[in-house]
Structures are given as C-alpha cells and as structure tokens.
Structure 1
Amino acid sequence: MNLEEILYREEIVLASIGRRAMAFLLDRILISFVFTLIYWNEFSALSGSYLQVVNFFYEVILQFLLLNFTYETLFTALYGATLGKIACKIKVISTSLLDHPNILFSCIRSAMKILGEYFIYIPFLLIYFTPFKQTLHDLLGKTIVIKYA
C-alpha cells in the first residue's frame, strides 16, 4: 500500500502551507526570545558600535544554531512537534511509522531545515512541487507534516 492510500485509509490530512509557515514563525520568535534571555547581559553591554555588534554575533552564532538544532531535534523526536507546531495544531510524522520520527531522522530533519534557512529558503520551495507538501528537510528526514485535532 502506498503512502497516499495509507493517509486516506487513516483519515490523515496534510498540514496547510499557511499553518506550517505560522508554526515556523512562532518557533523562530520563541528561539530568539530564549536566546536573548540567555545573552541579555552581553546584549546590554554592547555600546552600539556596528563593529562591536557584528563581532558579538560572530561569537555567538554557533550557540544560536546549536540551540535551534537541539530544540527542533528534541521536540520533534519526543513529541512530533515543536511548540510552534503544537500551537498551530500540526505535527511531524515518519512516513514509514506514521508516528513521530526517531532521534536519527529528527536530527537529519533539523540539520537540513537549519541549512535550508541559510540557503535563502530555496529548499523550502519543494513544498509546492511534491505530492505530500514536503520540503527538502521532510524528504531527507522521511517525514510529512499533518494536521491534528
């Protein structure tokens, strides 16, 4: 039985692009807020010099990426959804198990999603050309995003 037949039989509905975009935006706001809280003292100490601000961001970019990666990976592996996805009532499921992806595929999905952001979101455009509304990180992580509730 192919994936389309399974989704139909199980009455699983794919998440809309709008819900996915809203969840993505909510997650970025949350990660930025947490990151700002963590580095509040350092942000406050910046004098406003452009060079000083740029140097600071070069120093902390890896921590930001690690925080983002950890958040995406753990929430996807444990719950099948990040907080943004939960708020938008969507979740990530494995195409083989129809349950949240295991830690390996969650890592692959998260890493590719973060890389996709740094390639001007071009890998995200695949969502318009794949039958199950999958982006590159969904395809490589062997996942789909569905509506629930």
Structure 2
Amino acid sequence: MSESLSLPIASLQKRITSFVIDDIVITLFFIIIFYDQFSAVLSNITVVDEAALENINAFIAQNLLVVLSIKLLYHTVLIWQNGMTLGKYFMKIKVIDLETGETPGFQKAFLRASVRIPSEVLFYLGFLMAFFVPLRQTLHDKLSNCVVVND
C-alpha cells in the first residue's frame, strides 16, 4: 500500500485500552467455561495462604492450553471477520492488511494471533515495538504485515 504515510494510525492509548478490554472479555469467557471448577477451587479457600495459592496456580496450569486456545480463536476469528476485536470495536480502531488496505485474511489473522501470544508471555516485549516504530506496529503486526488504524 503506497499511501502508508497517510494512514490514520491508531494511538497507543487506544490500543492499550483495547488490549485491556479484550483481556477482560477473554477472562470472562474463561470464567464462564470453567465456572463450576473455578467455584470449587475458590470455595475451598477460607484463608489466602500458600496452599490456596498453590491450588489456584494448579487450576490455571491445568487449563493453560484452553486459555491460550480461547485467545488464539478470539483474536483470529474476530480480526479475520471484521478487523476488530470487541476492544478495538469500542475504541473505534481496526486492523488492516498493509498490502491491500483491507481486513486481513484468515492466514494473516492467524499468524498475527499466533505471534501475539508469545509476545504476551515474554513480558510483552513484542508489544514494546509499537513505541519505537513509525507505524506503531507490534511484533505481531510487523510479522503479519498489518497495521492498526482509526476506523
């Protein structure tokens, strides 16, 4: 896309707020899916001590793959379908393919979501790129050749 300099790049503040909204939504999905198990773990806690924290950590570790799968599906499907997650929708920003200027296809959306997860796990290092590059691209944006713009 030759007019990349004239793109209405989304602000970091909007992107951060969108990220927080999306994480809240994903957490709600997780709580809804595992409500019974989560309730059982929490009901056994009378005092927050080392044993209680170990039970919570064990529960999270046992279900980590499900959490990562929910994140991957959420970000892939919503970006592929309309370029926006719920957080992006509320912040009025969207992801576009730099080559076409359109919503990313399934492969790019999947690649973007796949790289996003290790970026989060590794202390958000992939996200820090957005502070230093002209188009405010994170690692997952850069590798998928996408950019987040105002809608």
- Same fold per superposition (TM over 0.5): yes
Match of 1:68 in 2: 71
Question: In 2, are the aligned partners of 1:112 and 1:136 still within 8 Å (CA)?
Answer: yes
2:129 to 118, 121, 126: 126
1:110 to 110, 113, 116: 113
Match of 1:93 in 2: 96
Match of 2:146 in 1: 143
C-alpha displacement of 1:64: 0.5
Question: In 2, are the aligned partners of 1:3 and 1:95 still within 8 Å (CA)?
Answer: no
C-alpha displacement of 1:22: 0.4
Match of 2:30 in 1: 35
Mapped partners of 2:143, 2:135: distance in 1: 13
Residue 65 of structure 2 aligns with an amino acid whose one-letter code is: L
Q: After superposition, what is the alpha-carbon deviation per residue over 1:44-82, rounded to whole angstroms, capped at 9, x for unaligned? A: 111233322221111101001000100000000011010
C-alpha displacement of 1:15: 0.3
Task: State yes or no: 1:81 paired with 2:84.
Answer: yes
Question: In 1, are the aligned partners of 2:72 and 2:114 still within 8 Å (CA)?
Answer: yes
Match of 1:2 in 2: 2
C-alpha displacement of 1:114: 1.1
Give ranges in structure 2 of 5+ residues lacking alignment. Answer: 46-51
Instruction: Specify the SS of the correspondent of 1:97.
Output: coil
Q: What is the RMSD of the two structures over their aligned residues, measured on CA atoms?
A: 1.2
C-alpha displacement of 1:122: 1.1
Mapped partners of 1:119, 1:3: distance in 2: 33
Mapped partners of 1:61, 1:116: distance in 2: 16
Residue 95 of structure 1 aligns with an amino acid whose one-letter code is: L
Please give the TM-score of this superposition, normalised by the length of structure 2: 0.90
Query: How many residues are treated as equivalent by the alignment?
Result: 143
Mapped partners of 1:70, 1:139: distance in 2: 20
Mapped partners of 2:87, 2:17: distance in 1: 8
C-alpha displacement of 1:115: 0.9
Mapped partners of 2:8, 2:60: distance in 1: 40
% identical aligned pairs: 31
